[in-house]
Structure 1
Amino acid sequence: MKRSSRIKRTLSATAVLALASMTLTACFEEPSPHEAIRDFLVGWKQEQYDLAAARTDADPKIVAKALSDAKLDLDANSFEFKINSVKRSGDQAKADFTAEVDLGENNPLWVYDGALPLRVVDGRWKVHWSPSVLHPKLGEGQRFAVPTKPVGRRAIVDRDGASLQTDMQLYVVGVTPGQLGADAEEVCNRLAGITGYAADRLLSKVRSSPPSDFVPLVTLGAKRHQELRAQLQDIKGIQINQEPHPVAPADPKGIVGSVSTLTARGEQQLGGPQRAGDSIGRSGLQRAYQDHLTGSTVTKVVTLDLKTGEEVAVLDELESQRDAVEVHTTIDSSIQRAAQTAVQGISAGTLVAVEASTGKILAVSTAGSFDQIKDSLDGQYPGGTAMSIVAAYALLKADRDPKMKLPCAPRRTVGGAWFENSGAQSVQPTASGTLQSNFANGCVTGLASLARLVDAEQLARSSEELGIGKPWKLPLASFSGKWPKTPGDAEKAQAIAGQNIEISPLGMALIAGSLASGTWNPPLLVTKPTSPDPSQATLPQAQPAAVPLDGKARDSLVSMMRLGVRAGTARPAGTVNNVHGIRADVPGKTLSWFVGWQGDVAIAVLADKADPSALAGRFFSAVGNSS
């Protein structure tokens, strides 16, 4: 009896202990799989691979390496996850999610649906690990790869579709991954040490590519290649291919702009989808239209067999966000050559030519220290006596007679401001001068005296009709001028003499174009695409409307411009038939202007220590010879 009682008590105690054990386990079992799902996906996303691996039922080292390899194999910038649903059945569950992978290279996101199988292990929910956790079609013994086919940089072309670039020899440094074997990391480290590119970025490019593909890693110009050639050739497995790329700018070089390869530092500064080694516009239209010119890389996401390197499956083919397109400009190459010929040999200056009837920019040439954007388009130069066009137009609109008496004195004071005929031009003072003769000869004192005949509102209105201060739209920095406030005769006289107003050569060429055609037109440089990259737009997106000029006043002013070439100080330009224009000095400076046109080609020439009328004549002669 006693033995039997002891047995019963022992069995009872065992049962109580078992029950207690079951209750204890139940108390410490995670109530849902949500924390496991969260920890795994957050660890994957934030590259905290140990956190993610700890939430799986496999060896944490194997899982952490698989997650790290996936990022390298995809050359991914980032992962984002969205949980769509969680279904539980006892101690098993399944979480459906959507992954968004940023593959860079100007590609759209790679989006796919995946699933996390989960089960309870020792009271905790765990992701049941297999390669299919990374992607449903990724099997054992396989890895991701991202074959890419870069779209070549498109051309910037002139109005006839001819390229405004010539070939430049570049050196493409790369590898064939299958030939590197276990040395891939060492090769990338050595290449990074020589070039300054991030080693992990280079290795990602190698890892993400099929083993038999040539993978370009770094593109070098001739000078940089020469500097690094010996060191590069010392790295076993490196291949260097010399390739012609149409990126060297033709005239107008400053407007077209330069192209280089993106450096490692530049990649960090840019913060965009471009990668070190990609071509990038550094200036001019190449920079303004960088995204249009480069477009997107054609990309596939595939799985490869780890042993053979053969492609197993195509997981996705990513369509380009946009196509790389040519940038069509209004530049006329024959007129551009004439403009280059015109300024050749002078110490400093610029010539800007526009199509009078449309405002299209036909040519921009410079010499010496002048820059085609900073000076020709965006320069802020004193208008000199060329600003007398504004006053003459205002007076002619008020029905003043071009032959009205207007003496040309050696010096004069207007409203307390002194004016003197001096400078490059030889102006002969005369008491029998007229409005048209003073205009044709650029008599500063005679023109300044017009301030007493025209009010401030008339001047401001005329300057606006001629485009001064208009908020036009161009993809490159430019300046349309600014007419000053002119409360008194002194300020009006200074404006007429161009002493207190600045304007760009482009703005002056458009004034000439408005007189030639009868309508002021805003400038146009690029016809397609219709807008540059948003980050590069320098002025308002809407172009101002064209402005018809007063017909009668314009006709009279055209006659006065013709007189400037036939009998005025713009005579050297008259060697070509039917040229209209005036020559204007900038008092106190060695700068001088020619503003005029022939046919539908209007120009402004700004020269330092050179005769702008002679340059204009040379230009129009060259245009005539090329037509």
Structure 2
Amino acid sequence: MTGKARRKAAAALALAAMAPLLSACTEEPSAHDAVRDFLVGWQTGDYTLAARRTDGDEKKVSRALEDARVQLDAASFRFELRGIRRADDEAEADFAAEVDLGENNPLWEYDGRLPLHLVNGRWKVRWSPSVLHPELREGQRFAVKVESESRQPIVDRNNDPLQQPANLYVASVVPAKLEDAAGLCEQLSKVTGFPQDRLLSRIRSASPSDQVPLVTFGRLRFAQLRSELEAIEGLEFSTREQAVAPDAPAQIVGTVTAVTPETEQQLGGPQRAGDTVGRSGLQKAYQEHLTGSTETSVITVDLKTLQPVAELAKWRPGRTASPVRTTLDRKVQSAADTALAAGGPGMLVAVKGSTGEILAVGSTKEYHQEKDALAGKFPAGTAFSVMAVEGLLKAEVDLKQKLSCPAERTVGGARFHQAGAFTGGTPTVQASFATGCVTALASLARRIDGAELTAGAAKFGIGAEWTLPLKSFSGSVDPLRNDAATARAIAGQNVSVSPLSMALVAGAVASGTWRPPVLVTEPASQDPADEDAPAQTVSPVDLDDETVDTLRSLMRVAVTAGSARAADAEGEPVHGVTAAASVDRRPLSWFVGWQGDVAVAVLVQSADSTAGAATAGRFFQNLRAGA
């Protein structure tokens, strides 16, 4: 059953239930019958039945009732009889009307009156346009005006817009100028794919002298269809500039397109034609917030002057459109993009260590900023050793003790390989941490309890159920049931993380507290589907002071004397570690660290284990230089 059929059936049922009430409302069955038949006919679309119960010309009344439905683009009418008063040969019935103005539009409710009189011994409704509505007069018609708010911007933390202006092309009509509205809609439907009946309803329900937008096109789509569109007589075109072209980080901000036939139903029909719809990123996640609600009004129009006469009702349901304010920083984003451009394929996520706010999400064309940088699942490599330090301290491992770094080592049956032999004698545990020696670090598995290692990772947010408006991944650790599994975890082989989750790890060491990520500050909720939800349901975690002090020392040594030296930069000291990993035989290079209150995770596709650190170094230099 179609939506229209369902509405009609519901209306019929409503009247069936109403009939006994109608019968009981008056002692005069004849007046009651006239009122009942008129309202039943009007509600069910049996306009002939309704017209016969009036004293007007049957064809004229039938046409007026049908025109009212068309002019309002009404999905249904529902009526409730409130009472009938009689004085000799005159009577008056009071009724309540409820008009469904269609999908995504409000219900129009008003009170009406039906004057009746006896004509040749039969009760008849005294016909005039005021029967349809008390304020409708002869020579007037209904019309519906629909005005959508302009799309609001997505802005960075400093209120700088993260979009650039782009031209949209609007095809519109002035109904009073059209000789063949149905023919125009038929042609426009063939060219664009928009339903012909809905386009025509939009025209017929609009005020005749208004410019009525029907379809909006982006630049490329308009160029493709321009010749066909210009051949449609009566169609007019205008250009509307709107800030919809995304700035960096483009995949986080998201794309915006004109409404298409595929999205029209989602947005509520052609009364929204001319609007825009977010197709990805934050533009999609906050579509309703950015576009707000549509203002709808029912008016009367003079048929001679084609000018509005009276406003009968007006609504703006829902919230007013407002900007989405993010934690992103255009300057930090520029520093990230410039740093990545000078290296190989890779990603960089920067957060504010003291708050968890995401400052920048950068990637080269080989990676996606949301799917990979925020939600990707990559092996942590020996960068996971940052989260293993607390377990080492609890196991009372002396970080200055000697720990060989051979090219090969087997732990519990798991085999590990270290690229590049350590020179200069047997290194300490601290030196192995600074150089990311996988064979040395893996050997510590025999001294660390797997449960302690997993619990330590959880303190750094691995596996936390945070909420962001975009897809993200907090990380996971496979079950550590034996020494081999624990050794693989220390080596980061059975630990999956995203660049975002590792940037938060760096921020936790920098600030002493792990904090969940924040990307949007207004609206406060990180869940676009429920903007009234709490801003964060995951609490910060204070780290052990000894763990933090030890990590800061280790991660500074890794920059000054270890494999992360390429990350060093002017200004405040840089702390960090490097790690090597691989995915589908693609070598990856991590850098996880911070400078000041800016914590980063860099993941670069390279066989050079220091490539991530080099990108981080360029980033910090760019940031200092204001790139």
* Counterpart code for 1:300: S
Q: Which moved more, 1:338-347 or 1:288-297?
A: 338-347
**Pair 466,123 (structure 1): closer, same or farther in 2 beyond 3 Å:** farther
* Counterpart code for 2:617: G
Aligned to 1:242: 239
**Pair 67,468 (structure 1): closer, same or farther in 2 beyond 3 Å:** farther
Return the alpha-carbon distance in structure 2 between the equivalents of residues 472 and 548 of structure 1: 17
Aligned to 2:280: 283
* Counterpart code for 2:340: V
Aligned to 2:111: 113
Deviations 1:186-214, CA, capped at 9 Å, x for gaps: 22222222211122222232233333322
Of 357, 380, 384, which residue of structure 2 is paired with 1:383?
380
**Pair 547,112 (structure 1): closer, same or farther in 2 beyond 3 Å:** same
Return the alpha-carbon distance in structure 1 between the equivalents of residues 250 and 43 of structure 2: 46
1:531 Cα offset (Å): 2.9
1:61 Cα offset (Å): 4.3
> How is 1:224-373 mapped onto 2 (pairs within 5 angstroms)?
224-268=221-265, 275-373=272-370
1:216 is the counterpart of 2:213: yes
* Counterpart code for 1:216: P
The answer as to whether partners of 2:391 and 2:449 remain within 8 angstroms in 1 is: no
1:476 Cα offset (Å): 0.6
* Counterpart code for 1:288: A
1:514 Cα offset (Å): 0.3
Aligned to 1:364, the other structure's residue is in SS state strand
**Pair 123,393 (structure 1): closer, same or farther in 2 beyond 3 Å:** farther
> How is 1:493-508 mapped onto 2 (pairs within 5 angstroms)?
493-508=487-502
The answer as to whether partners of 2:286 and 2:528 remain within 8 angstroms in 1 is: no
1:60 Cα offset (Å): 5.2
1:101 is the counterpart of 2:95: no
Q: Which moved more, 1:613-622 or 1:195-204?
A: 195-204
**Pair 216,416 (structure 1): closer, same or farther in 2 beyond 3 Å:** same
Of 469, 473, 480, which residue of structure 2 is paired with 1:475?
469
Aligned to 1:131: 129
Of 580, 583, 590, which residue of structure 2 is paired with 1:585?
580
Return the alpha-carbon distance in structure 1 between the equivalents of residues 244 and 389 of structure 2: 47
1:582 Cα offset (Å): 0.7
1:608 Cα offset (Å): 1.1
Aligned to 2:508: 514
Aligned to 2:516, the other structure's residue is in SS state coil
Return the alpha-carbon distance in structure 2 between the equivalents of residues 198 and 517 of structure 1: 57
**Pair 108,270 (structure 1): closer, same or farther in 2 beyond 3 Å:** closer
> How is 1:38-53 mapped onto 2 (pairs within 5 angstroms)?
44=42
Aligned to 1:374: 371
Aligned to 2:144: 146
**Pair 164,307 (structure 1): closer, same or farther in 2 beyond 3 Å:** same
Unmatched tracts of structure 1, length 5 or more? 1-28
Return the alpha-carbon distance in structure 1 between the equivalents of residues 270 and 580 of structure 2: 50
1:433 Cα offset (Å): 2.1
Return the alpha-carbon distance in structure 1 between the equivalents of residues 123 and 422 of structure 2: 101
1:293 Cα offset (Å): 0.6
Return the alpha-carbon distance in structure 2 between the equivalents of residues 33 and 405 of structure 1: 106
Return the alpha-carbon distance in structure 2 between the equivalents of residues 174 and 337 of structure 1: 40
Deviations 1:284-340, CA, capped at 9 Å, x for gaps: 111111111111233332101112212221212324532110100000000000111
Return the alpha-carbon distance in structure 2 between the equivalents of residues 34 and 385 of structure 1: 86
Deviations 1:257-293, CA, capped at 9 Å, x for gaps: 0111121232235668973442111111111111111
State the identity %.
51
Return the alpha-carbon distance in structure 2 between the equivalents of residues 70 and 434 of structure 1: 88
**Pair 179,439 (structure 1): closer, same or farther in 2 beyond 3 Å:** same
Q: Which moved more, 1:222-231 or 1:131-140?
A: 131-140
**Pair 120,372 (structure 1): closer, same or farther in 2 beyond 3 Å:** farther
**Pair 512,233 (structure 1): closer, same or farther in 2 beyond 3 Å:** same
Aligned to 1:550: 544
1:161 is the counterpart of 2:159: yes
* Counterpart code for 2:135: K
1:445 is the counterpart of 2:420: no
**Pair 118,289 (structure 1): closer, same or farther in 2 beyond 3 Å:** farther
The answer as to whether partners of 1:509 and 1:595 remain within 8 angstroms in 2 is: yes
Aligned to 1:147, the other structure's residue is in SS state strand
Aligned to 1:146, the other structure's residue is in SS state strand
1:483 Cα offset (Å): 2.1
The answer as to whether partners of 2:376 and 2:473 remain within 8 angstroms in 1 is: yes
The answer as to whether partners of 2:468 and 2:527 remain within 8 angstroms in 1 is: no
* Counterpart code for 1:602: A
**Pair 382,235 (structure 1): closer, same or farther in 2 beyond 3 Å:** same
Of 392, 407, 422, which residue of structure 2 is paired with 1:410?
407
Q: Which moved more, 1:38-47 or 1:579-588?
A: 38-47
Aligned to 1:615: 615
Unmatched tracts of structure 2, length 5 or more? 1-26
Q: Which moved more, 1:315-324 or 1:595-604?
A: 315-324
Return the alpha-carbon distance in structure 2 between the equivalents of residues 522 and 158 of structure 1: 19
The answer as to whether partners of 1:158 and 1:329 remain within 8 angstroms in 2 is: yes
Q: Which moved more, 1:298-307 or 1:220-229?
A: 298-307
Aligned to 1:15: none
Aligned to 2:460: 466
* Counterpart code for 1:449: S
Return the alpha-carbon distance in structure 2 between the equivalents of residues 476 and 286 of structure 1: 10
Aligned to 1:613, the other structure's residue is in SS state helix
The answer as to whether partners of 1:165 and 1:248 remain within 8 angstroms in 2 is: yes
Return the alpha-carbon distance in structure 1 between the equivalents of residues 52 and 423 of structure 2: 96
The answer as to whether partners of 1:197 and 1:276 remain within 8 angstroms in 2 is: no
* Counterpart code for 1:102: L
Deviations 1:80-130, CA, capped at 9 Å, x for gaps: 5352523364995624114143365x5544332223456788999875543
**Pair 509,524 (structure 1): closer, same or farther in 2 beyond 3 Å:** same
Aligned to 2:476, the other structure's residue is in SS state coil
Deviations 1:144-200, CA, capped at 9 Å, x for gaps: 1223332110000000001100011111111222322x3333222222222111222
The answer as to whether partners of 1:84 and 1:98 remain within 8 angstroms in 2 is: no
1:433 is the counterpart of 2:431: no
Return the alpha-carbon distance in structure 1 between the equivalents of residues 605 and 348 of structure 2: 12
Q: Which moved more, 1:498-507 or 1:426-435?
A: 426-435
**Pair 496,33 (structure 1): closer, same or farther in 2 beyond 3 Å:** farther
Return the alpha-carbon distance in structure 1 between the equivalents of residues 56 and 407 of structure 2: 99
1:571 Cα offset (Å): 1.3
Aligned to 1:485, the other structure's residue is in SS state coil
The answer as to whether partners of 1:397 and 1:550 remain within 8 angstroms in 2 is: no
The answer as to whether partners of 1:382 and 1:499 remain within 8 angstroms in 2 is: yes
Deviations 1:412-454, CA, capped at 9 Å, x for gaps: 11111111113xxx45277622221111111111111121111
* Counterpart code for 1:238: L
Q: Which moved more, 1:212-221 or 1:528-537?
A: 528-537
> How is 1:539-578 mapped onto 2 (pairs within 5 angstroms)?
542-577=536-571, 578=573
Aligned to 1:586, the other structure's residue is in SS state strand
**Pair 532,428 (structure 1): closer, same or farther in 2 beyond 3 Å:** closer
Aligned to 2:164, the other structure's residue is in SS state strand
* Counterpart code for 1:440: A
Return the alpha-carbon distance in structure 1 between the equivalents of residues 43 and 261 of structure 2: 24
Return the alpha-carbon distance in structure 2 between the equivalents of residues 311 and 608 of structure 1: 65
Return the alpha-carbon distance in structure 2 between the equivalents of residues 453 and 32 of structure 1: 98
1:359 Cα offset (Å): 0.3
The answer as to whether partners of 1:439 and 1:564 remain within 8 angstroms in 2 is: yes
Of 195, 199, 202, which residue of structure 2 is paired with 1:198?
195
* Counterpart code for 2:220: K
